[in-house]
Amino acid sequence: MWPNKFDYVRAGSVDEALASAAGGGKFLAGGHSLLPAMKLRLDSPEQLIDIGRIPELQGISANGGLTIGAGTTHDAIASSADVQAMCSALASACGQVGDQGVRNFGTLGGNIAHADPASDPPTVLVACGATINIQGADGKRSVGAEDFFIDLFETALDDGELITSVSLPNCSDCQCAYVKFPHPASRYAIVGVAVCLKMDGDTCAQADVAVGGATVKAVKCADAEAALAGTTLDEAALNAAAEAVKADIAEDLIGDIAYPESYRQQMAGVFLKRAIAAAQG
């Protein structure tokens, strides 16, 4: 509970933040992942660059698709009518992060930069084909969510780069859902499943599926998607998809002593079915 000594600067703009980052250190947004790690002395950055009050990182704009400022809190996303309309799975996932106190401070950008494998929003971002918009000393670039998350706590961000926003396609004509099986201690996901279904009548024209919590990163599940696409989502299709999703995540499984990999893998199948039911509900 007693962090090592560190310097602190508050940035007023993205340019200021990037300039400060040239001297090393870490960006501080909501602080709800970074500060606990520092208090336990698991992380000891020499400098914190506070980006929590940069206006250009704030807010949600809906213009064909969604653009969410990296500094937007989970609570703001969960309660946004635009997000609920265009990607209800993301609103749901952000509404399940931590508790209300965490959601009032924690930000989407901070969450995905931290890349905790058991976190909720990344799973939806991968399923729904989000784009992560990044700015660094060398300029701006954008990375698809699937490529952004690389491994446990590892992303495509280079040193000194800052996430500025996250873009999502308008998914209002899809049926989408995020369903989570929370760890009873931490309430992080033992497994979290996001689905986004494009329906053509009774037939599923396209299915996007991602799994997190059980895996080192949010994983897009091509075999499960293939098992669902072109079906009426009947029981046989659901069972096939539940089996397929276990194969999709087999290479990326993680577990802990209480909830081992094998259990989480099985639960991914169960919760895929529950996510589809929720999306259709």
Residue with tokens 């780069």: 161
Residue number, 251 or 257, with CB nearest to another protein? 257
Q: Is the dihedral of CA 242, 215, 211, 230 positive or negative?
A: negative
Of the candidate spans 122-130, 131-139, 178-186, 221-229, the one that interacts with another protein by CB under 8 A turns out to be 178-186
Residue number, 134 or 189, with CB nearest to another protein? 189
Residue number, 104 or 266, with CB nearest to another protein? 266
State which of residues 8, 13, 22, 41 lies at the interface with another protein (CB under 8 A): 41
CB-based burial of residue 116 (10 Å sphere; 0-12 exposed, 13-18 middle, 19+ buried)?
A: middle
Residue number, 68 or 195, with CB nearest to another protein? 195
Residue number, 9 or 270, with CB nearest to another protein? 270
Nearest distance in Å: CB 239, another protein: 13
* Strand ranges, E, within the chain: 7-10, 26-28, 47-50, 60-63, 65-69, 131-136, 139-144, 149-151, 154-155, 162-168, 175-182, 189-200, 203-212, 219-220
- Count of residues interacting with another protein (CB under 8 A): 21
Of the candidate spans 18-26, 125-133, 135-143, 259-267, the one that interacts with another protein by CB under 8 A turns out to be 259-267
Bridge partner list, 107: 73
Q: Is 4 in the site for another protein (CB under 8 A)?
A: yes
Q: Is 1 in the site for another protein (CB under 8 A)?
A: yes
Residue number, 18 or 191, with CB nearest to another protein? 191
H-run or E-run covering 272: helix 261-280
Q: Is 239 in the site for another protein (CB under 8 A)?
A: no
Q: Cβ(186)–Cβ(97) under 8 Å?
A: no
Looking at residues 179 to 218 of the shown chain, list those that interact with another protein (rule: CB under 8 A): 181, 184-186, 188
Q: Is 152 in the site for another protein (CB under 8 A)?
A: no
Q: Which residue type is seen at 208?
A: D
Whole-number Å distance between alpha carbons of 149 and 112:
8
Q: Is the dihedral of CA 143, 146, 147, 148 positive or negative?
A: positive
Of the candidate spans 26-34, 47-55, 69-77, 258-266, the one that interacts with another protein by CB under 8 A turns out to be 258-266
Nearest distance in Å: CB 39, another protein: 8
Who's near 11: CB < 8 A, 6+ residues apart? 17, 20, 49, 50, 51, 54
Structure tokens at 10: 């508050």
Structure tokens at 168: 């999502």
Q: Which residue type is seen at 250?
A: A
Residue number, 184 or 281, with CB nearest to another protein? 184
Nearest distance in Å: CB 41, another protein: 8
Nearest distance in Å: CB 259, another protein: 5
Residue number, 74 or 246, with CB nearest to another protein? 246
Residues forming contacts to another protein in the complex (CB under 8 A) are 1-2, 4-5, 40-41, 181, 184-186, 188, 256-260, 262-263, 266-267, 270
